[in-house]
Amino acid sequence: MSEVKFTQHELEAYLDESLDVERMAQIEQAARQDPRLLEHLSRINARNDRGNHSLSSIWRRHQIGVPSQNELGSYLLGILPEEHADYIRFRIETLKCRFTIAKLNDLVARQQQSESQQIVRRGKYFQSSVGYLKDEN
């Protein structure tokens, strides 16, 4: 029953913890209810422990295809070529790649932190220079 609902790729990604959170929760719930699925996951895990890895598992483990910080920064600025931006959107919206989403969220958080630090810095500059400003009236 459960093995039909999940692809081999999804089960391998589940074991690598690289599947999106919602799908991971579905597999975990199904594994609790279906001993055949649990056994299948054990076989995949044992195969990986022996060093037999699929091409997709190698890609996931080494995060091949995950955009760099520079690429994600350009994506946020809207300066990537459309095809490249489409690829990043695909990784985020369709694949729900946890690595890409985490890197993007980290970049956004750092950008927001940097902007708030700039506002504080400008305020300090203004406060420190108030005595130097002359009233022209």
Residue by residue, DSSP assigns 31-85 as HHH-HHHHHHHHHHHHHHHTT---HHHHHHHTTTTPPPHHHHHHHHHT-S-HHHH
Instruction: Answer whether 0.95 is exceeded by the pTM.
Output: no
Domain assignments of the chain as residue spans, ordered by start: 2-61, 69-129
pLDDT at position 132: 62
List pLDDT tens digits, range 5-57.
899 888 988 888 888 888 989 999 999 999 999 999 999 888 876 776 667 66
What tens digit of pLDDT does each residue of 50-69 get? 776 667 667 767 778 899 99
Tell me the per-residue pLDDT of 72-123, one tens digit each, with 9 for 90 and over. 999 999 999 999 999 999 999 988 888 899 999 999 999 888 776 777 777 6
